[in-house]
């Protein structure tokens, strides 16, 4: 199964929010590089970004879902 990155976040909470929204909509998201974080004065920042990925066969539908939900 090939995974496609549909979102990159620098804040772990933003990545988890996207993952939760996608799961609630019936998709199968995965989080990549979640542990790659740095802490600066109480702020957590993902190094290189925390990627939210979905299976390739769901990618087009997920992108459409995310675009329609931000309008």
- Mean pLDDT over all residues of the chain? 85
Q: Comparing C-alpha atoms, which of 65, 71, 69 is closest to residue 26?
A: 65
29-56: pLDDT as tens digits = 999 887 655 666 666 655 667 899 999 9
How far is it, in rounded angstroms, from Cα 27 to Cα 19? 9
H/E element holding 30? strand 30-32
pTM: 0.77
- As beta bridge partners, residue 4 has 54
* Per-residue model confidence (pLDDT) at position 45: 59
């Amino acid at each position: 199964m090939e995974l496609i990155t549909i979102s990159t976040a620098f804040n772990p909470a933003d990545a988890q929010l996207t993952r939760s929204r996608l799961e609630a909509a019936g998709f199968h998201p995965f989080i990549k590089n979640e542990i790659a974080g740095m802490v600066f004065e109480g702020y957590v920042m993902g190094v290189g970004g925390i990627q939210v990925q979905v299976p390739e066969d769901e990618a087009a539908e997920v992108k459409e879902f995310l675009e329609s939900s931000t309008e």
